[in-house]
């Protein structure tokens, strides 16, 4: 299985990434592509921008391990995870997860799994810049409940 | 201890001071603008393109103190009876020390006014000199003393920052400060001019003398995201000899013993990685290891 992990400040192009994912293979029956975006409201309204910090060195390993876990659970052909860092504006893509498989069920579930585990295990932190000041985004209980669905460790 | 600007539901509100007794309130704050020796020389000679730097910065600081309530959301508008802004040229350390005092007879403290005066005076110094030196840093903005009011008098003890502090304040890779200075010149030093990093290892070394640390090696401790900002500390080194037990729990105890501020590391919502892999209290720690503490993750 091909695993592609990227942590980058630059924007990503989901269409282009998907073409790369599928290049030179004809055995793929399904691709699920998830893009997470910056919302202009969160814990406070009027989010003007978002700064994403990560833990260089650990982040890539953590994402790769999540992709590996997905591969052990489902029959996958390729996984791409791209996570942006730095300053992002509302509407910008933050994260891209693409999963290719022979059949749709595996692709849907693996993509869902990767996002759930990423939200609770990958060392990224968001700071939101709003009209009423900057603050670090706090964790959500619902994210832990979502991750708990997979009985992950 | 409670935060008076939060009500029972944790919402921000302005404190009602109508029933508080009037008393004489004073506060003194300081800050430091560090610059190249050549910049300081120009400042002293009056050779900078924007003219009299200190006179301008003084007026800016005084004006700012009077307008603090417009900047800080829950501050009251105060009729200050006195605001001073003074400068000390420090040629040895190539910096300008800024000090402000504020006073009034009233029902609220004037710490925020003194801190605002210092901050804006420092910013004005920067603005007046930036044409010749963009690498200047504004450091150590702090309250020195306050008097009056219900919470009484307070004075800074020598240095109230965490003892084990600070190898650098540089933003971690990936934390982009928009328009930030390139990470070229991170002049972080103590008041005596020694690099803070050295002071830090001294502070943690001293209680136990030289015995253990040197021959047994050290570990690196990192703090990330909100935890880094809360502790005012990005990385520090800890002699292995300081650890009671050679595990993550031992690291936490050694840090808390060096400075009470590190007690927050024992909180339930503090995560830890050992050599960049998620770890727990019992994870073993050896020489040259890296231990990173961070808040719950919020990516995706």
Of A9, A83, A139, which is closest to B298 when you measure between CB atoms?
Answer: A139
Q: Does the beta-carbon distance from A126 to B172 stay under 8 Å?
A: no
Using a CB–CB cutoff of 8 Å, tell me whether B11 touches chain A.
no
- Considering only alpha carbons, which residue of chain A is nearest residue B270? A139
Q: Which of B118, B153, B188 is the last residue of a domain?
A: B153
Nearest CA to CA, how far is B71 from chain A (Å)? 11
Q: Does B112 carry a binding-site annotation?
A: yes
Whether residue B186 lies inside any domain: the answer is no
Q: Spell B184-194 as b/e; 16+ CB within 10 A means b.
A: eeeebbbbeee
Nearest to B225 among A118, A120, A125 (CB): A125
| Residue ranges of chain B whose pLDDT lies below 70 | 1-2, 8, 158-216
Specify the DSSP class assigned to residue B208: G
- In this structure, what DSSP letter does residue B156 have? -
Residue A153 lies in a domain: no
Q: Which residues of B touch A120 (CB under 8 A)?
A: 296-297
CATH number of domain containing A88: 3.90.1170.40
DSSP readout, chain A?
A: -EEEEEEESS---HHHHHHHHHTT-----EEEEEEEE--S-SSSS-EEEEEEEE-TTHHHHHHHHHHHHHHHHS-EEEEEEEEE-EEE-TT-EEEEEEEEESSHHHHHHHHHHHHHHHHHHS-EEEEEEETTEEEEPPP-HHHHHHHHTTT--
- Scanning every residue of chain B, which has its alpha carbon at the shortest distance from the alpha carbon of A97? B300
Name the one residue in this structure whose structure tokens are 């020796």: B37
Interchain CB distance below 8 Å, B176 and A85 = yes
- Beta strand A30-37 pairing with A93-101: antiparallel
Whether A54 sits inside 8 A of B174 (CB atoms) is yes
Q: Answer whether residue B275 is part of any domain.
A: yes
Q: Is residue B189 domain-resident? A: no
Residue B41 lies in a domain: yes
User: Residues 16..75 of B with a Cβ closer than 8 Å to A: which?
Assistant: 73
DSSP H or E segment with residue B103: strand B95-106
Q: What is the pLDDT of residues B124-174, one digit of tens each?
A: 999 999 988 999 999 999 999 998 887 778 888 765 444 433 333 333 333
Nearest residue to B121 (alpha-carbon basis) of B30, B38, B190:
B30
Instruction: For residue A93, tell me if it sits in a domain.
Output: yes
CATH code, domain carrying B127: 3.30.70.640
B143 and B200 co-located in one domain: no
Structural domain including A32 reads 2-148
Measure in Å the smallest separation between the Cα of A53 and chain B Cα atoms.
5
CA distance A50 to A124: 12
Residues B95 and B34 in one domain: yes
Beta strands in B171-267 (DSSP E): 218-223, 235-239
In degrees and rounded to multiples of 5, residue B26 shows phi and psi of -135, 150
Assess contact for A98 and A108: CB atoms under 8 A.
no
How many Å apart are CA B300 and CA B292, to the nearest integer?
21
> Is B75 annotated as belonging to a binding site?
yes
The candidate with the shortest Cα–Cα distance to A35, out of A101, A87, A88, A82, is: A82
Residues of chain A with pLDDT under 70: 152-153
8-state DSSP, B228: H
What is the total count of domains within chain B? Answer: 2
What's the pLDDT at B206?
34
* Alpha-carbon gap, residue A31 to A35, rounded angstroms: 13
pLDDT confidence of residue B188: 33
Question: Into how many domains does chain A fold?
Answer: 1
pLDDT in tens, A97-127: 999 999 999 999 999 999 999 999 999 999 9
Whether B255 contacts B223, CB under 8 Å: no
Pairing of strands A93-101, A133-136: unpaired
Tell me whether residue B183 is in a domain.
no
Q: Does B277 touch chain A (CB under 8 A)?
A: yes
Phi/psi of residue B212, nearest 5 degrees: -75, -55
B298 neighbourhood in chain A, CB within 8 Å: 119, 124-126, 136-139
SS3 at position B177:
coil
Domain span at residue B267?
196-294
List all residues 6 or more positions away from B11 whose beta carbon is below 8 Å from its beta carbon: none
**Helices vs strands, H then E, count in chain B:** 8, 10
Residue B274, annotated ligand binder?
Answer: no
DSSP conformation class of B24: E
Residues B140 and B207 reside in one and the same domain: no
**Per the annotation, does B74 bind a ligand?**
yes
Six-digit token pair at B119? 């901050």
* B2 has a chain A CB within 8 A of its CB: no
CB A130 within 8 A of CB A47: yes
What pLDDT does residue B220 have?
94
B133, part of any domain: yes
Residues B35 and B140 in one domain: yes
Domain boundary among B153, B184, B205: B153
Q: Give the residue numbers of B marked as catalytic.
A: 127
ipTM computed for the complex: 0.90
Residues contacting B215, CB < 8 A, separation 6+: none
């Amino acid at each position: 299985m091909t695993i592609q992990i990227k942590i980058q400040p630059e924007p990503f192009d989901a269409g282009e990434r998907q073409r790369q994912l599928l290049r030179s293979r004809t055995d793929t029956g399904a691709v699920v592509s998830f893009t997470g975006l910056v919302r202009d409201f969160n814990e406070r309204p009027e989010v003007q921008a978002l700064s994403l910090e990560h833990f260089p060195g650990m982040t890539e390993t953590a994402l790769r391990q999540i992709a590996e876990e997905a591969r052990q659970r489902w029959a996958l052909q390729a996984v791409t995870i791209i996570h942006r860092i730095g300053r992002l504006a509302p509407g910008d893509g933050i994260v891209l997860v693409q999963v290719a498989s022979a059949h749709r069920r595996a692709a849907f579930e693996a993509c869902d799994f990767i996002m759930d585990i990423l939200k609770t295990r990958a060392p990224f932190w968001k700071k939101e810049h709003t009209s009423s000041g900057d603050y670090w985004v706090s964790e959500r209980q619902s994210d832990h409940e979502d991750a708990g669905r997979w009985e992950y460790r | 201890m409670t935060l008076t600007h939060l009500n029972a539901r944790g919402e921000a509100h302005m404190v009602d001071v109508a029933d508080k007794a009037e008393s004489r309130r004073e506060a003194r704050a300081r800050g430091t603008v560090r610059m190249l020796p050549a910049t300081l020389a120009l400042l002293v000679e009056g050779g900078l393109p924007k003219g009299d730097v200190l006179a301008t910065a003084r007026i800016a600081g005084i004006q700012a103190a009077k307008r603090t309530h417009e900047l800080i959301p829950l501050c009251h508008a105060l009729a200050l009876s006195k605001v001073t802004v003074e400068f000390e040229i420090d040629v040895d350390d190539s910096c300008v020390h800024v000090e402000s005092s504020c006073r009034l007879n009233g029902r609220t403290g004037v710490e925020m006014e003194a801190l605002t005066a210092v901050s804006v005076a420092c910013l004005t110094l920067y603005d007046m000199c930036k044409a010749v030196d963009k690498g200047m840093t504004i450091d150590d903005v702090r309250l020195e003393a306050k008097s009056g009011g219900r919470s009484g008098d307070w004075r800074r003890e020598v240095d109230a920052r965490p003892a084990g502090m600070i190898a650098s304040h540089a933003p971690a890779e990936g934390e982009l400060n928009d328009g930030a200075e390139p990470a070229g010149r991170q002049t972080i030093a103590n008041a005596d001019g020694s690099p803070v990093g050295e002071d830090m290892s001294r502070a943690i070394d001293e209680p136990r003398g030289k015995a253990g640390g040197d021959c047994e090696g050290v570990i690196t401790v990192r703090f990330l995201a909100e935890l880094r900002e809360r502790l005012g500390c990005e990385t520090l080194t800890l002699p292995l000899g300081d650890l009671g037990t050679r595990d993550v729990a031992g690291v936490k105890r050694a840090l808390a013993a060096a400075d009470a501020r590190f007690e927050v590391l024992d909180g339930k919502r503090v995560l830890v990685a050992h050599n960049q892999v998620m770890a727990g209290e019992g994870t073993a720690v050896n020489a040259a290891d890296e231990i990173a503490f961070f808040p719950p993750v919020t990516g995706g």
